[in-house]
Amino acid sequence: MRHSVSRNVSFSIVIAVIGTLGAATPAASAPPVPPPKSPVAVGYGGAVSSVDADASAAGIEVLRKGGNAVDAAVATAAALGVTEPYSAGIGGGGYFVHYDARTGRVETVDGRETAPRSADSSLFLENGKPIPFEDAVTSGLGVGTPGTPATWEKALDAWGTKPLGRLLEPAERLARDGFVVDETFRSQTAANQARFADFPATAELFLPGGKPPATGSVLKNPDLARTYRTLGRKGVDELYRGSLARDIVSTVRKPPVDPEATRTVRPGDLTTADLKAYRALRQAPTKTGYRGLDVYGIAPSSSGGTSVGEALNILESTDLSKASETQYLHRLIEASRIAFADRGRWVGDPAFEDVPTRELLSQRFADSRECLIKDDAVLTSPLAPGDPRHPTRCATGGKAAPTTYEGENTTHLTTADKWGNVVAYTLTIEQTGGSGITVPGRGFLLNNELTDFSFAPASPAVHDPNLPGPSKRPRSSISPTIVLEHGKPVLALGSPGGATIITTVLQSLIGHLDRGLPLVDAIAEPRASQRNAATTEIEPGLWDSPVRGELEALGHVFKANPEIGAATGVQRLPDGRWLAAAEKVRRGGGSAMVVQPSGRS
């Protein structure tokens, strides 16, 4: 993801810059001035928190002009498609969770990418064996039907107040005039330079002069500006039924590879009929009660809502506010281990799999699993799943299903408005840079989300709900979450990070709700991520802490991970103000903004 590391300016300047949003746009020839970044902002009129200052500013601009939280979320997401093109964009998909202040209801949109209708369980097999993962990543084979534009349309039709064309204007302007490249964007480009160079359209856009753009330079994307203008004028049907759909299909079926490239790039089998048949799904959220609060998340095809909810149910029996740091982390790690064991066996696309969502979220099932946790010992991974339909106390039989790999460079945004509506929205193109394939003349990268499927069953003895299938959605870990108390919003948050999304959201919730940390500090807390593996990944703040030794004495085994997740959130304060929170340091720090700043809480 792109995060500016050189935008550390004072909070007073943040207020001044936000106050100028909506003023006359500078001439296209004037160099862009990136908004300053702050990890926290407090005030009235609404809030936006994302990983990028330009994107957060786009959402604030919409709120200042009378748009609501849904309008702001779409504008922010479109801007992220410009400044965070390796993490999100109209070539990908995502999950959208919405709280409606008027009705008090939480609803969601599943905008996950789908496999071609021709796909079956052998999608990634050749001669009966899985192809190398990296070969699938950079291919047409891994590209699913994009869901992001359909998500925008579905959300706006249901809850928005502004036309799509109006909401795309800030992102179109940003693509046309350019944004300032920071070190993270430059380094991510450099890491992908070899594969980007194999696709002329990608190289032309992201490797000016054949090299990654220099930090501090301005990167423009006129093709994407034109694409946004077309979508704004003709609607998202242009991507699913029009010339843009045909361009996507031809790119997938015959990847435009440099003739001199030596890379083998497998074609995909996406068709115009696949795009025409695509639907973003408006559906009910998951719901979990936790310490008198209602925690809402995304239901399958993502495993985020069920896994976060099951772990919370397991942890509710322990007073984590009084636990030592070692005790708290031990319980957190073990609850995560159990939740991942169960999701691996039971969660897939519910259009194809009989997913026991209600049972996974039952307290009865959580209690049957919680009793596995011991205060003085560690569970062995991979842990076998339980049976949520027939819970047996402390059962440990059966075969374990390992966690599939998921790309980490997703992005998350949260928005709120003056009426009290809230959105938590996570969107992605999967890997950093997705498939690496840019649609020629259109300015955006295609996803490689189908690599989230299991390439082959882990064991003949275990049913795998995440094998490919026709028009099937691959399982995700995306976990946009909204918490209510007595029907009113308390907070909303989410994170990128592949399978670590679940553990990041869980730990951030616990840090704030149980450990009493301010939201921005709960987000900044050093993280641990256990995903039913032999080792638990931890960040340097825990690796270098005495608590690591105390946990190792219990039997935990750790692996260092320099950075886990990059969360953003919003919180409703008791006095009616909004607090927006983002990362302080991770990936260059995030960008929290409010419409009318009023000082820190």
| Cis omega (within 30 of 0) for bond into 382 | yes
Please report, as a single letter, which amino acid is at residue 496. P
Please report, as a single letter, which amino acid is at residue 406. E
- Please tell me what DSSP assigns to residue 37: B
On the CB side of 584, CA atoms within 13 Å amount to 9
SS (H, E, C) 550-563: HHHHHCCCEEECCC
DSSP 76-91: HHHHHHHH-TTT-STT
- 184 is annotated as an active-site residue: no
DSSP 482-530: EEEETTEEEEEEE--STTHHHHHHHHHHHHHHTT---HHHHHHS--EE-
User: For residue 209, what are the contacts with CB-CB under 8 A and spacing of at least 6?
Assistant: none
Q: Which residue has the tokens 């029907």?
A: 487
Decide: 80 and 50 in contact? Cβ < 8 Å. yes
Give helix then strand counts, H and E, for the chain. Answer: 21, 20
User: For residue 107, what are the contacts with CB-CB under 8 A and spacing of at least 6?
Assistant: 97, 98, 100, 158, 282, 283, 284, 285
How many Å apart are CA 278 and CA 281, to the nearest integer? 10
**Strand ranges (DSSP E) for 205-313?**
218-219, 281-283, 286-290, 293-297
- Say which of 410, 428, 503, 568 is annotated catalytic: 410
Beta strands 411-417; 40-50: pairing state: antiparallel
CA dihedral 531, 536, 542, 546 (to 10 degrees): 140
Is 476 labelled as part of a ligand binding site?
yes
Phi, psi of 14 (to 5 degrees): -55, -45
Is 452 labelled as part of a ligand binding site?
yes
Is 531 labelled as part of a ligand binding site?
no
How close are the terminal C-alpha atoms of the chain, in Å? Answer: 29
Is 498 labelled as part of a ligand binding site?
yes
DSSP 379-444: --SSPPP--TTS--TT---S---PPPP--S--EEEEEEETT--EEEEEEE-SSTTTTS-B-TTT--
**Strand ranges (DSSP E) for 120-202?**
125-126, 129-130, 179-180
How many Å apart are CA 558 and CA 442, to the nearest integer? 44
Q: Catalytic residues, which ones?
A: 410
- Binding residues for L-glutamate are 112, 452, 476-477, 498
